[in-house]
Structure 1
Amino acid sequence: MKKKRISITDIANALQVTPSTVSRALNGGGKVSEKKRLEIISLAKKLGYRPNPIAKSLLANRTQTIGLILPEFTHHFYSRVLAGIESITSKAGYQLLICTSNENQNQEIKSTLTLLDARVDGILATISKMNDKFEHIQEVMDSGTPLVLVDRFSEEIETPYVISDDFKGAFSAVDYLCQIGCKNILHIKGPDNLSTTFNRFMGYKEALRKHNMPLKEELVLESSDPKLVEKIRLCLTRHQVDGAFTYSDYLAFEIYKLASQLKIQIPEELSVIGYADEPISTYISPTLSTVNQQPFEMGAMSARYLLNKINDPEVALEVKNLETKLMIRESCKVVETQS
């Protein structure tokens, strides 16, 4: 049988005082004698009284909750983003209500409306990769609920963002491949419609331009292509590919598997750089060079931005680009230094 929750009225009845007297005593209000206040507090502890958070939130117009929508938790990147967010929100006394979209727009819309119905004080979200409708995001902003978007950018939504500098991250990776002498650099792009895919491709192109190398369309592949594996194999066998830069570490692993089948040595014949610094990058052999996006810092900064917005709705819109870090490991040749 469910145990009845002790209420202010129960304490008031037991001590033959009014509920308002109990409320003032428990909340430090005036017009209650010190003797009576201590008596009320003592009985409340004895009975196991706990304040009703819903009632308190209605009085304060705050729920002390923050909604979070992430595409998934399986990738190390998003688990680190979550850890960064929680490191800030928990210290500030906020609880997280966490939803996943599974990269599905309909699920994202449902999650957004659920969080609004729960009267969260603010929302942190990473928009799904299939997102082409933004009415639900606009509804958040129209409701006055503070919103900060994380990792992915959309020109359709005017709100604070915390993202990594994917252009510079990709540029640094491909620039390194050019410096070690790679002439035919394969690039596997990410999902369509994502700002991260576009910015990493732009970084790839700019690094080639810096080194006066032509963009070869046959060396740019789409990760969504059902024939991706066959096309990677074709590039490795027919186009003398000696370098590869991929949208993710998992796509880099696909190159590893094919290189092994084709007896292509990494890094002696083929240098590879992935993206995101997932745990897989240090587990595979040779260890994978990659770009670290500082996901923990991204999460922490987005939480700070949101709390600032909650406390001051007039705070200016900001787009924060976090610096990335190029992690050179065994999958790349080492840049020769001039003596």
Structure 2
Amino acid sequence: MKKKRISITDIATALHVTPSTVSRALNGGGKVSEKKRLEIVSLAKKLGYRPNPIAKSLLENRTHTIGLIIPEFTHHFYSRMLAGIESVTSQAGYQLLICTSNEKQKQEIKSTQTLLDARVDGILATISKMNDKFAHLQEVMDSGTPLVLVDRFSEEIETPYVISDDFQGAFSAVDHLSQSGCKNIIHIKGPENLSTTFTRFMGYKEALKKHGIGLKEELILESSDENLQEKIRSCLLNHQVDGAFAYSDYLAFEVYKIASELQIRIPQQLSVIGYADEPISMYVNPTLSTVNQQPFEMGATGANYLLNKINNPETELEIKTLDTKLIIRGSCISSSKAPSSVRS
């Protein structure tokens, strides 16, 4: 048989006081003697009383829950970002309701509706790569629910952001390749519509410009291309490629695969740098050079921004750009001019 949940009324009946007296005693209210307060608190503990979260949320007009929408869990980046978020929200007494968009706009829209229906106090979100409409995010803000976006930026939404300096991260990577003597550097771009794809490409272009290396369209590849592996193979065979900078570590591994098939040695003949510092980067041979975006710090900062917005709705628009770190490992020939760690 299901055990009956102890209520304030049960405690009041047992002690021959009013429910309002019990409520004041348990919530630190006045007009209750210290003797009676201790008596009420003692009995509440003995009976295993737990506050009704629904009633409490109605009273305070808060649910002490925060909604989170992320594209996926599989990438180390998002799991570290989640850890950063939770390190802040749990300490502040908030629970997370987590939804994934699987990089699909329809699922992202459904997630926002689910979280609004759950009356969360605020929402943290990373825009999906298939997202080109933002009415659902505007609806969140119009409802009075604070919204903070992390990792990806959109000029369509005026809300607090926490992003990494992807321009400087890409620039530092290609700058290192160029200082190491690379002249023909492939860039594999990220998904269309994402701010991160654009800013990393801009960083790539600016680093080439700094070293007087002309932009070659044939060395710029789209990750969405169904024939990506063939395009990489063609570049390596026909354009004397000596460097590669990829939007992500996983795209960098595509370069590893084709280079191995063509018996091109990394880093002796081809230097490679990825992005995101996935754990597997340490276990491929040679270990992969990459750019770390500090996802834990990104999540923690985003959570703090959201809590600030929840507690003070008039908080001014906050936009934080976090430093990136270039990590040079075995996939690059070290340059005496190029530092092993670069901060934006």
TM-score (norm 2): 0.96
Match of 1:250 in 2: 250
Aligned equivalents of 1:169, 1:323: Cα separation in 2: 8
Match of 1:110 in 2: 110
The yes-or-no answer on 1:17 pairing with 2:28 is: no
Match of 1:93 in 2: 93
Aligned equivalents of 2:260, 2:191: Cα separation in 1: 26
Q: Work out whether residues 168 and 324 of structure 2, in 8 Å CA contact, stay in contact via their aligned partners in 1.
A: yes
Q: Work out whether residues 72 and 101 of structure 2, in 8 Å CA contact, stay in contact via their aligned partners in 1.
A: yes
Aligned equivalents of 1:98, 1:271: Cα separation in 2: 39
Aligned equivalents of 2:195, 2:9: Cα separation in 1: 55
The yes-or-no answer on 1:299 pairing with 2:310 is: no
Shift of 1:65: 1.1
Aligned equivalents of 1:330, 1:321: Cα separation in 2: 29
Provide the secondary structure at the position in 2 that maps to 1:98: strand
Q: Work out whether residues 108 and 128 of structure 2, in 8 Å CA contact, stay in contact via their aligned partners in 1.
A: yes
Aligned pairs for 1:188-207 within 5 A = 188-207=188-207
Deviation per residue, 1:270-312 (Å, 9 max, x gap)? 0000000001111101000000001011111111111111111
Aligned equivalents of 1:64, 1:58: Cα separation in 2: 11
Aligned pairs for 1:279-290 within 5 A = 279-290=279-290
Aligned equivalents of 1:157, 1:304: Cα separation in 2: 19
**Higher mean C-alpha deviation, range 273-282 or range 28-37:** 28-37
Shift of 1:319: 1.6
Q: Work out whether residues 126 and 152 of structure 2, in 8 Å CA contact, stay in contact via their aligned partners in 1.
A: yes
Letter in 2 for 1:102: N
Provide the secondary structure at the position in 2 that maps to 1:99: strand
How many residues of Structure 1 are paired with residues of Structure 2 in the alignment? 338
Aligned equivalents of 2:249, 2:261: Cα separation in 1: 19
Match of 2:215 in 1: 215
Provide the secondary structure at the position in 2 that maps to 1:168: helix
Aligned equivalents of 1:34, 1:300: Cα separation in 2: 40
Provide the secondary structure at the position in 2 that maps to 1:162: strand
Shift of 1:63: 1.3
Aligned pairs for 1:117-196 within 5 A = 117-196=117-196
Aligned equivalents of 1:202, 1:33: Cα separation in 2: 68
Aligned equivalents of 2:296, 2:115: Cα separation in 1: 23
Provide the secondary structure at the position in 2 that maps to 1:159: coil
Shift of 1:337: 5.3
Provide the secondary structure at the position in 2 that maps to 1:244: strand
Aligned equivalents of 2:337, 2:96: Cα separation in 1: 49
Aligned equivalents of 2:24, 2:245: Cα separation in 1: 64
Q: Work out whether residues 171 and 203 of structure 2, in 8 Å CA contact, stay in contact via their aligned partners in 1.
A: yes
**Higher mean C-alpha deviation, range 150-159 or range 53-62:** 53-62
Shift of 1:34: 2.9
Q: Work out whether residues 188 and 221 of structure 2, in 8 Å CA contact, stay in contact via their aligned partners in 1.
A: yes
Aligned equivalents of 2:276, 2:220: Cα separation in 1: 19
Q: Work out whether residues 179 and 337 of structure 2, in 8 Å CA contact, stay in contact via their aligned partners in 1.
A: no
Aligned equivalents of 2:304, 2:34: Cα separation in 1: 40
Aligned equivalents of 2:175, 2:201: Cα separation in 1: 13
Letter in 2 for 1:188: I
Deviation per residue, 1:208-267 (Å, 9 max, x gap)? 111111111111000010000111111111111100000000011111111111110000
* Unaligned ranges ≥5, structure 2: 339-344
Match of 1:67 in 2: 67
Provide the secondary structure at the position in 2 that maps to 1:212: coil
Provide the secondary structure at the position in 2 that maps to 1:326: strand
Provide the secondary structure at the position in 2 that maps to 1:291: strand
Match of 2:48 in 1: 48
Q: Please report the RMSD computed on the Cα atoms of aligned residues, expressed in angstroms.
A: 1.2
